[in-house]
Amino acid sequence: MVLGQFSPLLDAAVQVIAGCLAVLIWLYSYRAYRFLGSPTLLFLSTSFALFAAGLFVQALFTVHAYSTGSRLGVLFIGEGSLIYSVLEFSGYVVLASAYTAGGRADGDAVPLLAAAPTTFGSIMSFHRLFEYGIQTASIMVLAYALGRLYVDYRKNKTPYTKFVGYGFVFLLIQDVVRVIYLASDFDYLISSVFQLTGFVLIFYALWLASSR
Amino acid sequence: MKRDKYRSRATIAVDVMKAIIEQGEEQKLTHVLSRANIPYTRLTALLAELERVGMIESKANSERKQYIVTQKGVTYIKEYERFQRISRAFGLRI
């Protein structure tokens, strides 16, 4: 299938667009931080800077892998995916910190799932297990942030929050899909489209809030 | 009026400027004080700072000092509200 053949490149393109949106969201929230001096906004902007960095790195590795070809290319995709997972996880932890630092809603610290110790001798097995652990932890942290957002929305009914909430849901779906089921490059592309939709919705919320 | 328990410096400055606008010509410092919900000493220091940066202007009335929010102050309030909407879109309190 032609689409399947080019799906790594399409995936990289989707990641670059999502990365650009993450940069714009970072810019909005960083300006808000500079103006208001609120640490929660600093956490928010830092999280989107990390998402953007992760998306650009992954896109770069994917393009490089595609141009290299052969088995070495697969290694590049794997490394790019791992770096992305670490940056994405860091972003979610910082994002959850924004809700914790806000300290208004009820709730305890986020339970983080660390990668389980492994006895596998294979580096690749450890690599995959580590990435799986990071992605699972990302899901938990994002679910926590989504929960806090939902609690705030129920309490304050703030306009635009639902778009941010839908955006978080799409990001969550993307992460769950990547952890549970990825049979081909095309599936990966679909999960990236989910992620892009999430960033579009979050950006739309910021644009609405900013231009009223 | 519902208030957040913790207010940033920017929030207090905006509350003070909004109180000045609401009071208009007939403004009394006690009204501004209750609206801004801060101690007198802090309010006078804040008014002096807002005046120094050009967000408010004072004019000497026969009996007391009167404050007017300048265009720069109005722009600041609008910007504050814009960024506050962004913050609230994420369910975050500033």
Tell me the per-residue pLDDT of A46-94, one tens digit each, with 9 for 90 and over: 999 999 999 999 898 888 877 776 556 666 667 778 888 889 999 999 9
Instruction: Confirm if B83 and A155 have CB atoms less than 8 A apart.
Output: no
Pairwise CB contact (< 8 Å): B10 & A205: no
Paired residues of B68 in beta bridges? B57
Question: Any idea what DSSP says for residue A105?
Answer: S
Question: Any idea what DSSP says for residue B24?
Answer: G
Q: Which domains, from first to last, does chain B contain? A: 9-89 (1.10.10.10)
Query: What is the chain A residue with the closest CA to B88?
Result: A158
Instruction: Give the number of domains in chain A.
Output: 1
Pairwise CB contact (< 8 Å): A152 & B84: no
pLDDT (tens digit per residue) in B30-85: 878 887 888 888 888 999 999 999 999 888 766 777 888 999 999 999 999 999 88
Instruction: Confirm if B28 and B66 have CB atoms less than 8 A apart.
Output: no
Between these two residues, B89 and A79, which has the higher pLDDT value? B89
Rounded CA-CA distance A165/A149 in Å is 7
Residue A181 CA to chain centroid, in angstroms?
Answer: 17
Pairwise CB contact (< 8 Å): A210 & B85: yes
Q: Which of B83, B88, B93 sits opposite A35 (nearest CB)?
A: B83
What SS3 class is residue B56? strand
Q: Whole-prediction pTM value?
A: 0.77
Pairwise CB contact (< 8 Å): A148 & B91: yes
User: Which pair of structure tokens corresponds to residue A66?
Assistant: 């595609």
Rounded CA-CA distance A22/B27 in Å is 46
Instruction: Confirm if B66 and B59 have CB atoms less than 8 A apart.
Output: yes
User: Which pair of structure tokens corresponds to residue B94?
Assistant: 């500033």
What SS3 class is residue A118? coil
Q: What is the pLDDT of residue A76?
A: 64
User: Which pair of structure tokens corresponds to residue A33?
Assistant: 């931080």
Put simply, whether B93 touches A (Cβ < 8 Å) is yes
Q: Which of A98, A151, A160 sits opposite B92 (nearest CB)?
A: A98
Put simply, whether B75 touches A (Cβ < 8 Å) is no
CB count within 10 Å of CB A144 equals 22
The domain containing residue A134 runs over which residues?
2-211
CB count within 10 Å of CB A119 equals 6
Rounded CA-CA distance B87/B94 in Å is 7
